[in-house]
Structures are given as C-alpha cells and as structure tokens.
Structure 1
Amino acid sequence: MQNFEPVSPQIHGDVRIDEHQLPVLYSHFHMLNVELKEAVQASSEFPLFFSKVANSQRWTISALCGLGLNENVFVQRDEWVAHYTPLSLQTLPFSLQIEGNNGEHSLLIDSASAAVNTKSGSALFLSSKRPSAFLDNKRKLLEERSMAMAQTGALLEEIATMGLIRAVDLIIEYTDNTQQRVGGLATVNEQQLQTLDAEQLALLNGKQCLSVLANILGSIFQLNRLIRLHNKKYPGKAISNIKLETSKA
C-alpha cells in the first residue's frame, strides 16, 4: 500500500532511492499514462489508446502494457525491457501535491516503495541538508509532467469534441480457443479524421496533434509485440491473436 508524505531533510535526510528496484513498481501497472508531448516516442514501444481518467470524464492517453490487472509484460525477470520509459514512471516513487489555487505544490515520496531505503542508491539530500542533484531532477520531471498533463487534457478535450475518439474493445484469442473481451479503451476515429476540412486539419497540425493521432493509429501494430512479451511471461495462458472491435457499450 502506498504511503505518500512530504519530502523533508529532517525526515528523509538519510533516504536513498535504489532505481534498480523500480521495475518491481512498474510491474503492477497494466496501463501507463502517456502525455501528448511523448506520445510519438512512446508509440514506437507500446500500443497506445485513449482511456477515461478514473472517476472522471476526462480523456488521457494510455500505453497498454498488459491484459490483466497487475500484469506488465514489459517487465521481464524484474527488468524493464522497453527502450522508452514514460514520464509517469520516470517520476516514481515521487508525486506532486497541488496546494490551493495559486499553483504552488509540495513534493511527496511514497515511503512504502520498494525503491526507498537508507543503504543503497541515490541520496535525496546532501550532508548540508540541501537537495541532491538527483532530487532536483525528480522535481523538474514532476513539474514537466504536471504541465504536460494540463496540455494533454486540454487538447484531448478538443479532439473529443471534434468526434475523433471512438470506443473499441479488444478481443483476445487464446491458444486454448477461449476468448476474452476487454473494454474501456478508445482509439482514433479514422473515418471522422478523413472528413475534416482544411481549417480543422491546419488547427490540429498547428498544435502538433496530427502526428500524434497518426502515431496512435500506427501503434496498434505494437499489439503484436505485446502478444510476444505476454506469451514469454505467461506461457500458461498464451495468446494467438488480438482483434479490435467497435465498442457496443
């Protein structure tokens, strides 16, 4: 269970982060948030979909890393095998807490994380109690991600308003001839995209959204890689194929 608390030199002066333990944390995420600014790079590794933020109608971009809860096939034998690591993972085991309406925030650490210890890894503070370069870098990454999340949310709302998001289900076909339907995902409405006029296309292109939409569409072929990694990690429930269907929900 996570236990986030404000980072301070008085409490965490001796704390270190062992980044070799981070894949243990990654292994519990079957979907990862990906921000608009990193979607093109992430599409070279993961199948990307749209999904709704929990308890919200807001859309986000998600990298599909597994087909069941707590299944991440990009973690093999406790090693992260993807060549790109999304910001949502790079910032672990830290988080930002927004305070009030003035935009100020405080840095939090998950003290229950397997990466947190007092013996090995990168120190959070120097002997002078000043933040280490490691901690400063994590804070900068968190601030970068916070701004990227706001940009992603605003642009996806605009994309959804244009009818460019359509819900899909994954039909997973196992080698034992059983099937499983996975819902809650969406992809680019390619047919609607083709009907946009020059002004709408120019608007999307000006916001660097067209390339993102194209790469999200192309990333569907990364499902083949997902299958290979799944079958390597879970040979007892091997998959033969994954198909996309327009959601009936």
Structure 2
Amino acid sequence: MPNFQTLSSDLHSEIRVDESKLTATFAKFHLVNVEVKEAVQASCEYPLFFSKAANNQYWTVSALCGLALQENVFETQGAWLAHFTPLSLKTLPFTLSFENSTDQPDTLLDMDSPAVSQNTGETLFLSSKRPTAYLDNKKKLLSERVSAMQQTAALLNQVSEMELIQPVDLIIEYADNTQQRVGGLATVNEQRLHNLSSDEMALLHQKGLLNVLFNVLGSIFQVNRIIRLHNTKFPSRAVKNVKFETSKS
C-alpha cells in the first residue's frame, strides 16, 4: 500500500527520486488508467477497456497490462517494454489531494515507492526551499493529468448516456486446460455504435470521441501481445487463449 505524505520543503529537502526504479512500481498495476486524449496512442501498445473508477461514480479508460492482480507483463527485470507510458504512470511517485482545497491541491509523495531515496536520484528542493526543475515538471504533469481526468470523465459520461458501453468478461484459458473469468471491464457496444444516427455520429466526431471508440475496439487485438508477454514472464502459468463474453452486469 502507498504511504503518502504531503510534500514539504521542510520534511523532504533530503529526499530524492530515482526515476530508473519507477518501473518496479509499474510492475504492480495490471490495469493502468489512460485518459481519453492518450487513448489513440495507447491503443498501439495495450488492449483498452472501460472500467469504473474506485468510487464507482464515473467511467475511465484502462489499459490491460496483466492477467492477474499486481502483475504487469510490460515490466521485466526492471525494464519497461512499452514505448508509450500513460500520464498515470509518469506522475508517480506523486499524486494530488483535493481534500483541503479544490483550487490548490496538496502534492503527495509515496514514501514507500522504490524510487524514493536519500542517496540517489533527482532532488526535489533547492537550498532556497524552492522546487527543483524536476519537481516543477512533475507538478506540471500532475496538473495536466487532473485536467485530462476531468475531460475523460465528462466525455465518457456522454458515451455512457449514448449506451455505447458494453460490460464484458474475459475468459482466460490456460495451457493446463483450466479457466479463469475476469469481470469488471467493458468495451464499446459495437452494434449500438453502427446504429447511431448521423447526428449522433457527428456529435461524437465533434467531441473527438469517434476515433477514440474505434481505436478502443481495434486495441482488442493487443490481447495477443499480453498473452505472449505473460507466457514469457510467467511460463508456469502459460495462457493459450483469452476469450471475451458479453456480461449483463
């Protein structure tokens, strides 16, 4: 579990962040949040699905990076095999808290991150207690991600209202002939998409969503890449196939 502390020049002046060790953090995410503005590029790397946020109040886009909890097949021996890294990973080991203010959120640092150190890596504060260029860049990424998350929530609310989100289960078939069902994911309701009126299609195009939806659909073929990477990383639990089944949930 993360151990977040509110970032302070008084408390964290000696703290460093070793970016080369962040991949060890990535390794624990089998689902990675992707914002709508990143979806087209991300679809070239990962299979993309819709999933509900932790509070179950709004839809997000998630990249499937592993077939089991806390398993990310794009991480291997400290190396990151993906060419595109979503904002949700780039901002680590930092996050924002809006608990005290919605206008000026607190920056939090995960003190238990493998990248946090007192010996190696990027310093966070100058002797004047002002943020370093490294920390300023991280804060810019955090701000960018907040704006992107708000945009994603609003746009996917539109997609949901148009009944374009279809829950789906993954049926994982292992080489030893056992199966595992994974729920909680959704994809584009392809039949509904093809039956949209010209006005509805124009609206999606205007909002930049039409291209995103087609790329989410096309990204399903990246599951084959997940299988290959999984079998290389976890040969004792080799997967021979992953099927998709429409869910009523």
Residue in structure 2 matched with residue 3 of structure 1 by the alignment? 3
* Structure 2 gap segments, 5+ residues each: none
Q: Which amino acid aligns with 1:220?
A: I
Q: Return the letter of the residue paired with 1:61.
A: V
How far does the alpha carbon of each residue in 1:186-212 deviate from its partner, in whole angstroms, 9 at most, with x for none?
000010011111111111111100010
Give the secondary structure class of the aligned counterpart of 1:39: helix
Q: Deviations over 1:161-182 (max 9, x none)?
A: 1010001111111111111111
Taking the aligned partners of 2:14 and 2:186, their CA distance within structure 1 comes to: 45
**Structure 2: distance between partners of 1:176 and 1:247:** 25
Number of equivalenced pairs = 249
Structure 2 equivalent of residue 161 of structure 1? 161
Structure 1 residue 71 corresponds to structure 2 residue 71? yes
Identity of aligned residues (%): 59
Structure 1 stretch displaced more, 49-58 or 83-92: 49-58
Deviation at 1:248, TM superposition (A): 4.0
Q: Report which stretch shifted further, 125-134 or 228-237.
A: 125-134
Cα-to-partner distance string for 1:8-52 (whole Å, 9 max, x where unaligned): 111111111001111111111110010001011111100000011
Give the corresponding residue for 1:247: 247
Aligned residue for 1:211?
211
CA gap of 1:181–1:21, structure 2 versus 1, over 3 A, is same
TM-score normalised over the length of structure 2: 0.97
Aligned AA (1:81)? L
Distance in 1, matches of 2:168 and 2:230, equals: 21
Contact 2:100–2:106 (CA under 8 A) maintained in structure 1:
no
Instruction: Tell me how far 1:240 sits from its aligned partner.
Output: 0.7
- Aligned mates of 2:106, 2:55 — CA distance in 1: 24
C-alpha root-mean-square deviation of aligned residues, in Å?
Answer: 1.1
Structure-1 residue corresponding to 2:183: 183
In the other structure, the counterpart of 1:136 is: 136
| Deviation for aligned residue 1:100 | 5.1
Relative distance call for 1:138 and 1:188 in structure 2 (3 A) is: same
Partner Cα separation in structure 2 for residue 15 and residue 213 of structure 1: 42
